[in-house]
Amino acid sequence: MPDKKLEKTDPLFSNGLNLNPEKREFQFVPRLEVRQNSPEWLRLVIYALSLLVGCVSAIIVMSWAGVKPDDLIQEISALLFSGTRTIASILAQTAPLVIAGLATAAAFRANFWNVGLEGQMILGTIFASFIAIYDVGPDSIRLLLMALAAMLGGIIWIAPAGFLKLKLGINEVITTLLLNYVAFNLLLHLLFGPWKDPVSGFPHSAQFDQVERLPHLGWENLTYTLPLALLLVLVTWWFFTFSRAGYLINFVKSNPNMAKAVGVPVLGLSITAIIMSGAIGGLTGFAIASGIEFRMTRDFFSGFLFSGVLIAFLGRNHPIGVAVVALFMAMLVLLGQSLQVFYQVPFALIQLIQAIFIICVAASEFFLTYRMHWRK
Amino acid sequence: MLEINSVSKSFGGFQALDHTNFSVNNGEIHALLGENGAGKSTLMNIVCGLYSPDSGSVKVNQKPVTFKGPQDAATEGIGMVHQHFKLVASFSVIENIMLFFNPKKSFGKSKDFVINKAKSLANDLGFAINLEIRAGDLSIADQQKVEILKVLIAGAKVIILDEPTAVLSEDESDNLMTLIKKLADAGTAIVLVTHKIREALDHCDRITVMRAGKKVHEVLPKDVDETSLTKLIVGEEIISTTEYSTNISETPLIQFKDISVSDDRGRSGLSKISFDVFGGEIYGIAGVGGNGQSELADLIMGLKNPFEGKITITDVGNVTLDNARKRRKDGVYSIPVDRYLHGLAGKQSVLDNYSIAAVIRGELGSWFNFNKKLAKSKVNEALIDFDVQGVNNINQRASLLSGGNAQKLVIAREFSGKLKIILAHSPSRGLDVRAGAAVHARLRKARNSGAAVILISEDLDEILLMSDRIGVINRGEIAAEFVAPASRSAIGQAMVSNA
């Protein structure tokens, strides 16, 4: 027999819980139990609470950094209620984030951890820019050709990772991630080489012609990037929530063995989701190049991989959830920008606030899985 | 040694335990019997610190204890061997033991310590397990031994075994019972949670029967027999009788001819196996576990393809190389052995798990739209028809169902289409008497409607009770065939013969 006394008093033995029975009643360590069921209302309540905790922590951090709570509230209300211009800039910021979130969520839905969004964006943009630079096809369908080319580019860049995963079981996190670097260097090669802007000589492509840009909506300075994002939300929402394939994909994710045994075409559905993810990833690049920058730049993609994963995760891979979270993220970005300008708050602090929100929402999952007992 | 007084526990309005008492003494083997959902597992989970009781007390050696987690319970000398083993497959045996029990020494020293301890214990108990082998490579019976070793090394004075023989063959069960007797003789208190009435009667010193969260009886094995004990458990008498088929078809519905399959490690799983199954009969496949049953099941389900031989289904033709999807189209439905591997997606809702078969058949809406309304009405009908209990809401996760109800859900789904050929692989494993009888009744009903039923089971009683014809599988071959009623000893002989 091992020395029992030693174990009892050694806090390490029990994951930090002191097992000494006499002292137990003074502790406030909760006991955990796995929940038998977690209803939908509880999910909403816990999410709301987590956002509240996030807001409170953000206010504390900001006031520590010199932004008083009432100033912060003033900034937020300025962002939301000072007219159509700020609303429009929030929406303009939201659109590419939505598409990036959808691209990531589509793959996550089928258990394919696509972290190659940036590579797919780059390839999509390269393909679309090719159409634009060499004026392929008649003007009337140039934009459509660019969008299709972008989708093709995204698909081509996700395909090897998908093939390696499905055929040989090679981890897609590694392959998709590394393909980002390949794509990035290809982009640099083009921008410093053959596709360098002939007008300015800077490492970005020549400006797209008017017919190669997503047109203006006619309201503020919004372009058709936003309707494109909304259309993609609707299509993916229908696909994942109402279509038969979307219904079956849920089984591919939650139990592929069972799915195969009951006759779900696991391979076909995985391929569908992967292709979908690549295509939307390519469109993300197209939406930025053709809707915002009007050329292919050196760093149009940067940060989207991380944002996409985050938005998909926080939106629980649900297209509507993705749209809502993307809107929230866009507001955080703009709020951060004005705080930077007017209060000299460093950018790192803005990222810190974002991280706080993410941790809060992620932590809420724990409370949905477990139930706590605070009684002795 | 262990005493539980008036413990209650409820889960979101459901009273799982209602003022239950239970005790076990040193050197005693105490059987805990009851139907699925009677509260046995909840009670034992409280004892081993996974759940905390709403009210009531737990005493170890007359001293009241409160457990905050399994570690607390382990410190008090309570060890549990769960029904689903908690071993890390990629760790060696010794690493698994150290994960659970770690003497406060440097790594090297504690490893030596545990190895010595494990060796001497294994020696005392007559185990032959290589301590360096990966846990995932051990047979189920050996994994169970590791679990027992684990709790013993941690100093368990009370060992709780949750349905330990559910996954074992008859021989292995006998060995386990001998081992348990040995431990009890050495002074360990043993709680045996089980469905098997024979086990309780033959090997235990005391029997406690639970029903609906309450302890209803405490009896001594000498005071009861099998029939009266069954009656105590279910509250009524369930008589199981054989009932043979009357309308066997002229020609076989499915034929297997000289089929060979390799197993997961590339060794021979089935070698030149041949048999036919006719419509309107239950073809039982008896055998000691590991003689090719799981390969045969995979083969029938279309999860595995043979490298030689031919499978033919009447009205379809040669289906040798078809996949699972095609197989189901051809009318082969199955009750798989592992409900949570091939039967259900635990994270999906009851509704989804039921509907998926019909969705694939194209019955619930089109490609563009999943008809949820129709699916809902269908699942509600099926839940009543197949007596699936414990569903508060059809959107709840399937993993929340108890074993018996999960099995009923699988059967409800598999029987929702037109029945032609049914594979039932150990369909009543882990089920209580009543649920097992319900499953058997379903299989008979399917047979009487003209379907061909293939019943693979390691439980010879089940095979004898259900089958019209029996094939004995031995080393991947059908070693002998019998027409019911067949002699138990002749089948047993064929199961173990080395021919």
The answer, yes or no, to whether residue B172 has pLDDT greater than 90, is no
- Count the alpha carbons within 13 Å of A88 in the hemisphere toward its beta carbon: 12
Per-residue model confidence (pLDDT) at position A7? 37
Label residues B318-329 b or e (16+ Cβ within 10 Å = b): ebbebbbbebbb
Interface contact B201, partner A, CB < 8 A: no
Q: Measure B6 CA to nearest chain A CA, in Å.
A: 18
Find chain A residues with C-beta within 8 A of B107's C-beta: none
Residues B52, A373: C-beta atoms closer than 8 Å: yes
Instruction: Identify the CA nearest to B426 among candidates B397, B455, B454, B398.
Output: B455
Interface contact B69, partner A, CB < 8 A: yes
Residues B342, A261: C-beta atoms closer than 8 Å: yes
Output B283 or B486, whichever has higher pLDDT: B283
Q: What is the dihedral of CA A233, A239, A242, A247, to 10 degrees?
A: -130
Find chain A residues with C-beta within 8 A of B392's C-beta: 37
Interface contact B11, partner A, CB < 8 A: yes
pLDDT category of residue B74 using cuts at 50, 70 and 90: confident
The answer, yes or no, to whether residue A8 has pLDDT greater than 60, is no
Per-residue model confidence (pLDDT) at position B498? 65
> What chain B residue is nearest to A36 in terms of C-alpha separation?
B400
For B28, list phi and psi in degrees, rounded to 5.
-110, 145
Residues of chain B with pLDDT > 90, as a percent, come to: 28
Per-residue model confidence (pLDDT) at position A5? 39
Q: What is the pLDDT of residues B226-243, one digit of tens each?
A: 888 888 887 766 667 788
Find chain B residues with C-beta within 8 A of A110's C-beta: none
Which one of A61-70, A114-123, B392-401, B464-473 scores highest in mean pLDDT? A114-123
Interface contact B40, partner A, CB < 8 A: no
Query: How big is the A-B interface in CB pairs under 8 Å?
Result: 128
Find chain A residues with C-beta within 8 A of B301's C-beta: 261
The answer, yes or no, to whether residue A26 has pLDDT greater than 50, is no
Residue B24, both tokens? 């076990």
The answer, yes or no, to whether residue A266 has pLDDT greater than 90, is yes
Per-residue model confidence (pLDDT) at position A75? 85
Per-residue model confidence (pLDDT) at position A375? 53
Output A149 or A13, whichever has higher pLDDT: A149
Find chain B residues with C-beta within 8 A of A251's C-beta: 345, 348, 352, 356
Instruction: Identify the CA nearest to B163 among candidates B205, B192, B120, B133.
Output: B192
Q: Measure B78 CA to nearest chain A CA, in Å.
A: 14
Mean of per-residue pLDDT scores for chain A: 87
Structural domains of chain A, ranges and CATH numbers in brackets = 90-358 (1.10.3470.10)
Q: Measure A101 CA to nearest chain B CA, in Å.
A: 23
Q: CB count, 10 Å around CB of B439? A: 24
SS3 B296: helix
Give the pairing type, strands B317-318 and B332-335. unpaired
Tell me the average pLDDT across A278-302: 94
Interface contact B104, partner A, CB < 8 A: yes
Mean of per-residue pLDDT scores for chain B: 86
Give ∠ CA B26-A33-B383 in degrees, rounded to 5: 100
Per-residue model confidence (pLDDT) at position B330? 92
Interface contact B121, partner A, CB < 8 A: no
Interface contact A264, partner B, CB < 8 A: yes
Per-residue model confidence (pLDDT) at position B470? 94
Give ∠ CA B376-B380-B384 in degrees, rounded to 5: 170
Residues B328, A33: C-beta atoms closer than 8 Å: no
Q: What is the pLDDT of residues B348-386, one digit of tens each?
A: 899 999 999 999 988 888 888 888 899 999 999 999 988
Give yes or no for a contact between A117 and A281, defined as CB atoms under 8 angstroms apart.
Answer: yes
Residue of A258, A264, A365 to mutate when probing chain B, most B C-beta within 10 A: A258
**Alpha carbon distance B402, B329 (integer Å):** 30
Residues of chain B with pLDDT > 70, as a percent, come to: 96
Per-residue model confidence (pLDDT) at position A72? 84
Tell me the average pLDDT across B11-25: 82
Tell me the average pLDDT across A225-238: 96
* One-character DSSP codes across B156-174: -SEEEEESGGGGS-HHHHH
> Which range has the worst mean pLDDT, A27-36, B75-84, B303-312?
A27-36
Q: Measure B399 CA to nearest chain A CA, in Å.
A: 9
Tell me the average pLDDT across A262-275: 95
Give the pairing type, strands B29-34 and B189-194. parallel
Tell me the average pLDDT across A268-293: 96
Inter-CA distances, A5 with A11, A355, B328, Å: 12, 43, 60
Question: In sequence order, which residues have a C-beta less than 8 Å from that of residue B382 and are 6 or more positions away?
Answer: B354, B388, B412, B413, B416
Structural domains of chain B, ranges and CATH numbers in brackets = 2-234 (3.40.50.300), 238-331+418-499 (3.40.50.300), 348-416 (no CATH)
Residue B194 burial by Cβ neighbours in a 10 Å radius (0-12, 13-18, 19+)? buried
Residue of A235, A262, A267, A368 to mutate when probing chain B, most B C-beta within 10 A: A262
> Which range has the worst mean pLDDT, A5-19, A252-266, B462-476?
A5-19
Residues A265, B392: C-beta atoms closer than 8 Å: no
For A172, list phi and psi in degrees, rounded to 5.
-75, -20
Give the pairing type, strands B477-483 and B469-474. antiparallel
Find chain A residues with C-beta within 8 A of B50's C-beta: 33
Tell me the average pLDDT across A18-22: 40
Interface contact B133, partner A, CB < 8 A: no
Find chain A residues with C-beta within 8 A of B357's C-beta: 262-263
pLDDT category of residue B262 using cuts at 50, 70 and 90: confident
Find chain A residues with C-beta within 8 A of B346's C-beta: 254-255
**Alpha carbon distance B419, A307 (integer Å):** 50
Q: What is the pLDDT of residues A315-336, one digit of tens each?
A: 889 999 999 999 988 988 888 8
Instruction: Identify the CA nearest to B467 among candidates B288, B300, B247, B244.
Output: B244
Q: Measure A237 CA to nearest chain B CA, in Å.
A: 12
Q: Measure A193 CA to nearest chain B CA, in Å.
A: 47
B406-409's contacts with Cβ under 8 Å and 24+ in sequence apart are B406/B339, B406/B340, B406/B343, B406/B344, B407/B335, B407/B339, B407/B343, B407/B431, B407/B435, B407/B439, B408/B435, B408/B438, B408/B439, B409/B344, B409/B350, B409/B353, B409/B354, B409/B383
The answer, yes or no, to whether residue B166 has pLDDT greater than 80, is no
Instruction: Identify the CA nearest to B178 among candidates B210, B143, B145, B137.
Output: B145
Q: Is the pTM of the predicted complex or chain greater than 0.90?
A: no
- Whether the CA torsion B270, B142, B31, B200 is positive or negative: it is positive
Instruction: Identify the CA nearest to B454 among candidates B247, B249, B279.
Output: B279
Per-residue model confidence (pLDDT) at position B289? 76
Per-residue model confidence (pLDDT) at position A30? 66
The answer, yes or no, to whether residue A223 has pLDDT greater than 70, is yes
Interface contact A373, partner B, CB < 8 A: yes
Q: Angle at which helices B403-414 and B350-361 pack, to 10 degrees?
A: 20
Give yes or no for a contact between B237 and B230, defined as CB atoms under 8 angstroms apart.
Answer: yes
Q: Measure B79 CA to nearest chain A CA, in Å.
A: 15
Write the residue in B51, B329, B356 that is nearest to A251 by C-beta: B356
Looking at this predicted complex, what is its ipTM? 0.79
First-to-last C-alpha distance (Å) of chain B: 50
Instruction: Identify the CA nearest to B191 among candidates B55, B1, B59, B436.
Output: B1
Give yes or no for a contact between B478 and B498, defined as CB atoms under 8 angstroms apart.
Answer: no
Per-residue model confidence (pLDDT) at position A23? 40
Interface contact B61, partner A, CB < 8 A: no
Q: What is the pLDDT of residues B414-440, one digit of tens each?
A: 999 888 999 999 898 777 778 888 899
Residues B12, A36: C-beta atoms closer than 8 Å: yes
Residues B69, A17: C-beta atoms closer than 8 Å: yes
The answer, yes or no, to whether residue B497 has pLDDT greater than 80, is no
The answer, yes or no, to whether residue B14 has pLDDT greater than 80, is no
The answer, yes or no, to whether residue A151 has pLDDT greater than 70, is yes
For B58, list phi and psi in degrees, rounded to 5.
-120, 130
Which one of A111-125, A298-312, A320-334, B58-72 scores highest in mean pLDDT? A111-125
